[in-house]
């Protein structure tokens, strides 16, 4: 099957919101069968996320309040690309800003769309090893707590639904030995 059989062709774009980070468009497309359909699209500059591990095999996670979900989460360090910034440079910057750590070894893990049904955000995942501690330099509106976790502790956070999906994906791609573990409090018995 060729993608041309699936392709949607833009007909009209109306920008409904322009923020400092995101732009929201209300698009009309012509579907592959010739029908018109609406698509709400979020334009995002892209982001990076880092699975940083120390010499003992612990992973660095950051805890911060996430207003959209109404609670704090543990996450791998991450941040938004600035215009023209290379993803690895952004990853190095974000790791240092949020955790104070720098890394001697960097490896690209993967890149892909985060939520392609409505967002153009592309996330670049990296592994960072051989860490050296330093000073954090968070943004004025950013309040972050960084902490090291063993595989067992990270597994517990996953089981308790205390992390986001990019963290689970990043840990898995980096080969960090976590499992689904015991089901968390929000699960129902099988």
C-alpha span between 49 and 43 (Å, rounded): 18
Confidence label for 189 from pLDDT (cuts 50, 70 and 90) = very low
Helix or strand run (H / E) with residue 79: strand 78-80
* Domains in the chain: boundaries: 3-43, 47-173
Instruction: Share the mean pLDDT of the chain.
Output: 92
Q: Supply the pTM of this predicted model.
A: 0.90
Q: Measure the CA–CA gap between 131 and 42, rounded to whole angstroms.
A: 35
| CATH number for the domain whose boundaries are 47-173 | 3.90.79.10
pLDDT digits (tens, 9 = 90+) for 124-172: 999 999 999 998 888 788 899 999 999 999 999 999 999 999 999 999 9
- Write the DSSP string, 113-175: ES-TTTB--EEEEEEEEEEE-------TT---EEEEE-HHHHHHHHHTT-B-HHHHHHHHHTT
Q: Tens digits of per-residue pLDDT, 39-66? A: 999 999 999 999 999 999 999 999 999 9
Considering only the C-alpha atoms of the chain, give the largest distance between any 2 of them, rounded to a whole number of Å.
Answer: 57
């Amino acid at each position: 099957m060729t993608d041309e059989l699936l392709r949607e062709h833009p007909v009209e774009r109306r920008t409904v919101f322009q923020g400092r980070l995101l732009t929201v468009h209300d698009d009309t497309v012509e579907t592959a069968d010739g029908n018109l359909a609406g698509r709400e699209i979020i334009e995002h500059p892209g982001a990076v996320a880092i699975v940083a591990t120390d010499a003992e095999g612990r992973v660095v996670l950051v805890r911060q309040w996430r207003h959209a979900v109404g609670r704090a989460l543990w996450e791998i360090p991450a941040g938004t690309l600035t215009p023209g910034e290379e993803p690895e440079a952004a990853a190095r910057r974000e790791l240092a800003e949020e955790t104070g750590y720098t890394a001697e070894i960097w490896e690209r893990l993967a890149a892909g769309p985060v939520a392609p049904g409505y967002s153009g955000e592309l996330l670049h995942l990296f592994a960072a090893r051989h860490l050296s501690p330093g000073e954090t330099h968070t943004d004025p509106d950013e309040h972050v707590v960084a902490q090291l976790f063993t595989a067992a502790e990270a597994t517990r956070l996953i089981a308790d639904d205390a992390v986001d999906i990019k963290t689970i994906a990043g840990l898995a791609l980096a080969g960090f030995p976590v499992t689904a573990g015991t089901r968390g409090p929000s699960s129902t018995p099988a």
